Structure 1
Amino acid sequence: MTGRAGLVLAGGRSRRFGQKDKALATLDGDPLLGRVVDRVSTVVDEVVVSCRPAQVDPFTDVLSSTAADGVVEDRIADGGPLAGLEAGLDSVSEPYTAVVACDMPLVEPAVLADLFERAVDADAAVPKHANGQLQPVQAVYRTRAMRAAIGRMGSCDGSVHGVLESLSVVTVPVESFPKRSFHNVNTRRDLVAAEHRFDGENSDGEIRLE
């Protein structure tokens, strides 16, 4: 695992989820944020969480019982994933970083391990959907290259996809991986669906191929 970091993006507003921060919503009794951190931690040497300043205290409490190594504040308010990437990548010391959104509680460590291997000769290894859409928030990046690409934009107003255009990117069909790894919780209905998918895991917590 040497040379690998994890960055969990958790600074969203959860507008579609309701009043509660979805990162703190629970799946099988565990907050989504904690579940993601612990899954990512199995394939990396360090894990940090990026979030808005107002989230630091509640997240720190949740993360105290996880493998997280720290919480990093987004420097740009409501800057979206790029703001989290910018702050988070500045805080990690490893040459490669797996980036995962906090609302993907079924992220499969084996997916990240595969992406780490594919990223060795590139700036990024990113899953790609059949419609051509990239999945940049469950992907692996060369830390310095991604940090520099964001810096060249001069702000966090752009999109992650725009940053990727300036990098050497290896894409991998999403269909190569377990579908549940990419299950995204935006609404409470999505959380219920995640609970059903979670029921399909075996007793060791590993996700079986569908």
Structure 2
Amino acid sequence: MEWTGIILAGGRSSRMGTNKAVLPIDGQPVIERLACELQKATDEVVISCGPSVLYAELGLPLRQDIYSGCGPLAGLHAGLAASARKWCLVVSCDMPFANAALFRYMAEQAQMLEDQRRGGHGEPVEAVIPYVGDRVQPLLAMYRRSVLPELERALGEGLLRVNHWISGLPAKYISGEELSQASGLPAELAVFNMNQPEDYKTAQLYAEQQNLGQRNC
């Protein structure tokens, strides 16, 4: 199954105090790491980055928000709207350990759902979303482009909370155990995101301990 990888990089990084996407893990910016891992799993990768041109040097298509100032949902919308493929995988630019093996596994789950849909088995499902501990991870997930009308409705009405939006989607949820097996990482690291300086220090430490910092592209 062909699918599009979307890196969400349009946030303000207010809690970090600097642009999270370009923070290096042993010399390689997080967004570059993610782009490399996505390119191992799919042939179409785009960056949803609002009006920014900071990432032009990565050589990937940049998608600007159609609904400006509406947060991650607007970034997801921009990426989905620009893709011609039925399924897209979205990953936030502050998730340094999400890897190609995990992306492939999620795509396989989407393919299974698509096969079931074509065969008329079960209810149509429009998302594949990890669930680790007591938290869903809607910014590391696969979405079918058929969610666009509902997404546009939410954006048009100013309903911008991601978790509220996904609560209305028919979705398959992937457990932490599945994530760990697929990625080769503890589930908490597979979905680890850097919101604050302390999180960045933790990411650097883990990368050094596990020798994950070497450039992977």
Fold shared by both chains (TM-score > 0.5): yes
**Structure 2 portions without partners, runs of 5+:** 114-124
**Between structures 1 and 2, the one with greater helix share:** 2
Counterpart of 1:186 (choices 170, 187, 195) is: 195
Q: Evaluate the alpha carbon distance shift between residue 100 and residue 203 of structure 1 in structure 2; reply closer, same or farther with a 3 A threshold.
A: closer
1:35 and 2:44 are equivalent in the alignment:
no
Q: 1:205 to 1:146 in 2, by over 3 A?
A: farther
Equivalent pairs: percent with the same residue? 30
Distance 1:88 1:126 in 2: 17
Unmatched runs of 5 consecutive residues or more in structure 1: none
Q: Which amino acid in 2 is paired with 1:127?
A: P
Query: Structure 2 vs 1, CA of residues 45 and 154 (structure 1 numbering), >3 Å: closer, same or farther?
Result: same
Q: Does 1:60 align with 2:56?
A: yes
Whether 1:130 and 2:121 are equivalent positions in the alignment is no
- 1:25 Cα deviation from its structure 2 partner: 1.4
1:49 to partner: Cα distance: 0.6
Report the 3-state secondary structure (helix = DSSP H, G, I; strand = E; otherwise coil) of the residue aligned with 1:42: helix
- State the partner residue of 2:75: 84
What do the CA deviations read for 1:138-185 (whole angstroms, capped 9, x no partner)?
Answer: 11111x222222023252532222332332200011233223221111
Question: Per-residue CA shift, 1:76-117, capped at 9, x if unaligned?
Answer: 333111010111111112211110000001112111211112
Alpha-carbon distance in structure 2 between the residues aligned to 1:196 and 1:113: 26
- Structure 1 position 7 matched with structure 2 position 3: no
Tell me the distance in 1 between the aligned counterparts of 2:42 and 2:89: 8
The verdict on how the C-alpha distance between 1:193 and 1:92 changes in structure 2, with shifts beyond 3 A counting, is same
Q: How many residues align?
A: 195
The structure whose RCO (Cα within 8 Å, separation 6+) is larger is 2
User: What aligned pairs does 1:58-207 form with structure 2 within 5 A after superposition?
Assistant: 58-61=54-57, 63-64=58-59, 68=60, 70-120=61-111, 121=113, 122-131=125-134, 133-142=135-144, 144-155=145-156, 157-176=159-178, 177=180, 178=185, 179=187, 180-199=189-208, 200-201=210-211
* Mapped contact 2:88–2:142 kept (Cα < 8 A): yes
Q: CA RMSD in A?
A: 2.1
Give TM-score scaled by structure 1 length.
0.84
Alpha carbons 1:99, 1:139 under 8 Å: kept: yes
